[in-house]
Amino acid sequence: MAGIYIHIPFCKQACHYCDFHFSTSLKYKDDMLKAINREILLQKNFLQNEKIETIYFGGGTPSLLTSDEINKITEQIQRYYIADELVEVTLETNPDDLSSQKIAALKHTPVNRFSIGIQSFFNEDLKWMNRAHQAKEAEFAIKASQDAGFENLTVDLIYGYPLLTKEKWDLNINQVLAMDIPHVSCYSMTVEPKTALASFIKKGIDKNMDDTKSAEQFLHLSAKLQENGFEHYEISNFAKGNKYSVHNTNYWRGVKYLGIGPSAHSFDGKDRQWNIANNALYMQSLGKDNIPAEKEFLSPKDRVNEYIMTALRTMWGLDLNKINSDFPVFKAEISKNMNQFFEKDWIEEKDNHIILTTKGKLYADHIAAELFIEDGF
Ligand SMILES: C[S@@+](CC[C@H](N)C(=O)[O-])C[C@H]1O[C@@H](n2cnc3c(N)ncnc32)[C@H](O)[C@@H]1O
Ligand SMILES: C[S@@+](CC[C@H](N)C(=O)[O-])C[C@H]1O[C@@H](n2cnc3c(N)ncnc32)[C@H](O)[C@@H]1O
Ligand code: SF4
């Protein structure tokens, strides 16, 4: 079993907070797609004939692709990989791209799940973020997708930014609940260096994020979605009726995946690989049949730390049997470091799994960092 991630490195305009890899110049879209299709061929041995279960088109803005361009990519995957029984094919979409015609055309592709970047249902917030869409387009995109039979939807929302009051956050959550969406990803706004948002804060044009407010909004979100039948199955992800993201859940379980496109990363079950985050250099290199990637060798310490970080964030938690069998030398050290968090009531043990309590979810990164095995252990 394995997954393929395709990174589409273009956006119509740059959102002020975003530091993912993308360019706002679409001049090279055709050349980029050529390079992406070439990389799919060149990497055909990376997943060692594992059956492909999921494809995830992320970005950037993959909804800038036409349905023909998407079909060309999936056909290329099916030509060189075992990918005739795809379980989940996700397309990240921006609401302003989802016209009725576009949605109808996407029905003729293998895409069976949309991830719609809503962020907020308030125009003033969208404007502050420099999003290219308006709230009305977001509502239309959700309804029109559902009407066309794309009921396997997920939406992204952001909280914890200065304009977002408690009341507005509650209304955003209500809107999602009213629209019968089975999966939601919610991210606390982070200020990334070199973004427009970071420079506005530095110049005093914008206020910095308020951690206390962000924590309150997170707790409200978690409680309200759970009251309404969602499972809080990963720190940033909620699902109803078992509609977990198969692709992302596989990442967290350590399943192999291949990332295609500039900035995409891959995991072959042992080591990690990162493609260069530069469109021109990526295309140039593939023009010469070279994959512009850097390999990162993962030591047993790196692997156990990664497992701690990802597993702790999920509702299935850290499997102590797995630590015992896969990383026996680290078991005692990890258990010793856990004690302080049992005392604080931030973690609990259920069936030999360590799970974060609601309070613990606020400190997930801190807890993971304290459990990490240090250099030289
Ligand atoms: C990288 S975008 C790609 C998908 C699509 N272009 C979109 O905007 O929805 C995926 C998600 O990352 C999240 N994101 C990006 N930068 C962020 C930041 N600094 N803080 C919080 N969330 C962020 C947004 O919620 C966004 O929906
Ligand atoms: C922030 S998450 C949003 C998840 C989504 N809402 C869902 O549940 O389907 C997705 C983003 O992570 C990044 N991403 C995911 N897998 C990646 C990979 N293998 N290589 C590079 N970036 C990746 C992409 O920028 C993508 O837009
Ligand atoms: S949030 Fe999405 S649309 Fe905005 S710049 Fe980032 S990738 Fe592009």
Verify that 360 and 242 share a domain, yes or no.
Answer: no
Best probe residue, ligand 1, of 156, 197, 248 (max atoms within 8 Å of C-beta): 156
CA dihedral 322, 328, 330, 332 (to 10 degrees): 100
CA dihedral 116, 263, 307, 181 (to 10 degrees): 0
Ligand 3 centre distance from Cα of residue 340 (Å) = 39
Looking at residue 98, what is its pLDDT? 98
**Which CATH number do you get for residue 348?**
1.10.10.920
Verify that 304 and 246 share a domain, yes or no.
Answer: no
Ligand 2 centre distance from Cα of residue 6 (Å) = 10
Verify that 187 and 310 share a domain, yes or no.
Answer: no
Name all residues whose Cβ lies below 6 A of ligand 2: 5, 7, 20, 58-59, 90, 92, 115, 154, 156, 185, 237, 245, 248, 259, 263-265
CA separation for the pair 34, 32 (Å, rounded): 5
Per-residue pLDDT, averaged over 281-305, amounts to 97
Classify residue 6: in a domain, yes or no: yes
Verify that 240 and 305 share a domain, yes or no.
Answer: no
Question: For residue 327, what are the domain limits?
Answer: 300-371
Which SS3 state, helix, strand or coil, does residue 227 take? helix
Looking at residue 376, what is its pLDDT? 78
pLDDT tens digits for range 202-223:
999 999 999 999 999 999 999 9
What does DSSP assign to residue 293? E
Ligand 1 centre distance from Cα of residue 39 (Å) = 25
Looking at residue 96, what is its pLDDT? 98
Average pLDDT, the chain: 97
Answer whether 339's CB lies under 8 Å from 299's CB: no
What does DSSP assign to residue 345? T
Verify that 217 and 357 share a domain, yes or no.
Answer: no
- Burial classification of residue 54, based on how many CB atoms lie within 10 Å of its CB (0-12 exposed, 13-18 middle, 19 or more buried): buried
Q: In the chain, at which residue ranges do the beta strands (DSSP E only) sit? A: 2-8, 52-59, 88-93, 113-119, 153-159, 183-188, 231-234, 237-239, 256-260, 265-267, 272-275, 293-296, 318-319, 347-350, 353-356
Looking at residue 364, what is its pLDDT? 97
Verify that 142 and 208 share a domain, yes or no.
Answer: yes
Looking at residue 143, what is its pLDDT? 98
Classify residue 224: in a domain, yes or no: yes
State how many domains the chain has. Answer: 2
Looking at residue 93, what is its pLDDT? 98
ipTM above 0.85, yes or no: yes
Please report the atom of ligand 3 found closest to the CA of residue 94. Answer: 3
Ligand 1 centre distance from Cα of residue 164 (Å) = 17
Ligand 1 centre distance from Cα of residue 269 (Å) = 27
DSSP 31-72: HHHHHHHHHHHHTTTTTTTPBEEEEEEEES-GGGS-HHHHHH
Classify residue 335: in a domain, yes or no: yes
Classify residue 277: in a domain, yes or no: no
Classify residue 376: in a domain, yes or no: no
Verify that 122 and 199 share a domain, yes or no.
Answer: yes
| 11 has pLDDT over 90 | yes
Looking at residue 42, what is its pLDDT? 98
| 377 has pLDDT over 90 | no
What token pair was written down for 207? 């206020």
Verify that 230 and 323 share a domain, yes or no.
Answer: no
Q: What is the pTM of this model?
A: 0.97
Q: Which protein residue's CA is at the shortest distance from atom 4 of ligand 3?
A: 15
Classify residue 273: in a domain, yes or no: no
CA separation for the pair 120, 263 (Å, rounded): 27
What does DSSP assign to residue 299? P
Answer whether 271's CB lies under 8 Å from 258's CB: no
Domain final residue pick, 214, 230, 251: 251
Ligand 3 centre distance from Cα of residue 117 (Å) = 9
214 Cβ contact list (under 8 Å, min separation 6): 159, 160, 188, 189
| 329 has pLDDT over 90 | yes
Classify residue 242: in a domain, yes or no: yes
Looking at residue 134, what is its pLDDT? 98
Classify residue 345: in a domain, yes or no: yes
Verify that 195 and 305 share a domain, yes or no.
Answer: no
Domain final residue pick, 251, 271, 288: 251
| 371 has pLDDT over 90 | yes
Looking at residue 47, what is its pLDDT? 97
Query: Does 156 contact ligand 1 (Cβ within 6 A)?
Result: yes
Domain final residue pick, 233, 251, 269: 251
Verify that 231 and 361 share a domain, yes or no.
Answer: no
CA–chain centroid gap for 80, Å, is 26
CA separation for the pair 84, 74 (Å, rounded): 10
What token pair was written down for 108? 């003729």
Indicate the pLDDT class of residue 282, thresholds 50, 70 and 90: very high
pLDDT tens digits for range 108-156:
999 999 999 999 999 999 999 999 999 999 999 999 999 999 999 999 9
Verify that 210 and 325 share a domain, yes or no.
Answer: no
Instruction: Say how many Å lie between the first and final Cα of the chain, rounded.
Output: 33
pLDDT tens digits for range 158-194:
999 999 999 999 999 999 999 999 999 999 999 999 9
Query: Does 160 contact ligand 3 (Cβ within 6 A)?
Result: no
Per-residue pLDDT, averaged over 59-69, amounts to 98
Q: Which protein residue's CA is at the shortest distance from atom 4 of ligand 2?
A: 185
Which SS3 state, helix, strand or coil, does residue 16 take? coil
**Which CATH number do you get for residue 107?**
3.20.20.70
Q: Which protein residue's CA is at the shortest distance from atom 6 of ligand 3?
A: 18
Query: Does 59 contact ligand 1 (Cβ within 6 A)?
Result: yes
Verify that 8 and 111 share a domain, yes or no.
Answer: yes
